[in-house]
Structure 1
Amino acid sequence: MGATPSYHSILEVRLSKYFDKPTDMRYDGTQDPQEHLMAFESRMNLEGVVDEVRCRAFPVTLAEPGIRWFNALPQGSVRTFADITRGFLVQFTTCIKKAKHRINLLGVTQRNGEPTIKYLDRFNDECLEIDGLTDSMASLCLTNGLLNEDFRKYLTTKTSVDNAGNPKCGERIHQRRRGQSSGGGQQAAARLSSYSSDRKRGKA
C-alpha cells in the first residue's frame, strides 16, 4: 500500500456493504468549506457511522484542488476526523463566507423604475445573509430604501407594537434564515397587496 495521510487504524476499518458513499457531494475549492463540512457531517450522522468511516469517506467528496490538498498531507497524519476538519478549514479559509453586517441593509435601496414588489423580494434576500437582525432594524432599513413615498407612509402608519413595546413593521419580513423557509417574501407582498387595496378604497 502506498503512502497515505490516513493512520493505519482508519485504513483497517471495514465499510458496511450498505454504506452509501457520498459520491454525489463534490468540493472543488469554490464553495464555503464550512457548508461542505456541515453537509458531510449531516450525511454521516444519517448513516450512523464511526469516526474512522468519516475519515475514509471524506476524500471521496473532494475534487481538485481539494483532493490534491488531502493527498499532500504527511503520511499517517490523519488520525481523527477532527484532524481533517482543522486542516480543511485552514486550507480553504479564504472561501469562508463573511457574514454581512446590519449596516449593509442601508445600501439596499429601491432602484429607479424597479417595481416595489421586486425591491421587497431583493431586500428580504439580503436579510437572509445577516445574523442578529432585529425587526426594528429591518423595518428602519426597509422604509429608508423605499422610493415609493406613499407606501413608506403606509408602512409607518400601519406599524404595530409588540408586547415589549418595540415597534415592528407588520409581519416579520426578514424571518427567513439559511436553510429555513418562512414565506418572508410572501408576507412583504401581502402588505403591498393590502396597501393597494386600501388605496382603492381610499384608506391609504
Structure 2
Amino acid sequence: MHMNFEVHPATAERFADVATMLGPKNPTSTVCWCLSHRLPAKESRSLLGPARGAYVRELCGRDVAPGVLAYDGDEVVGWAAVAPRAELPFARSRKIPHVDDLPVWSAWCVRVRPGHRGRGITLPLLEGAVRYAGENGAPAVEGYPVDNRGAKVDLTMAYVGTRALFERAGFTKVADTDSISGGFPRVVMRRLLTADSAA
C-alpha cells in the first residue's frame, strides 16, 4: 500500500510544502515549525512568528536538508525531521542517553497531514528519512519513540512515533530513557546503516 508514496529531501524549492506541513494558518502565529528539538531552548524561544519560518527556509537552503517530505502524487502528505544528533539538543540531553560514541543521526519528528492519516504514510516517511541520512554518511539512525505497547497515543504527542513503527522500519531497541511523552516511556531505537547502506 505505501509504495504509492514518494519521499524527497526538504530542499529550498520544496519550502512551500514544508510550510504546508509545519507552518501556521496565520503567518504571524508562533508555532513549533519542528524547531523545538532542533535548537537550544533559549534560541527556540527567541524566534517568534514569521522568524521561525524564515529560519526553516534557511535550513532548507543548506547542503543537507532538515528532513524529508512524503508525497501522494503532487500533494505533500508527510514530514520527518532527521539530522546528526551532535547538532541537536539531544546531544546534551540528560534524559535520553548516548549509547556509544557512534556519530548517529536522529529522526525525532514524524508528521502526517490531517486528512491523510491512517493510510500507511508513516512507514515510508521514516524509511525515507533513514535513506536520506544514509546518503549523507550517517552510520546509524536513532529515534526516541514511545513504548506504548499498543495503547492509544494522544495525537498531539504522536510526532515522536511508536516503538512498533520504528521496529517495522528495521530499528531495534538499544536503551531505555528517562523521558516520558504523552504518559508513555520513550526508548532509544537504532538502525545501523553501514551493513545495509540504508537500503
Task: Compute the TM-score of the two structures, normalised by the length of structure 2.
Answer: 0.23
Q: Which has the higher helix share?
A: 1
Q: TM-score, normalised by structure 1?
A: 0.23
> Which is higher, the Rg of structure 1 or of structure 2?
1
Q: Structure 1 or 2: larger strand share?
A: 2
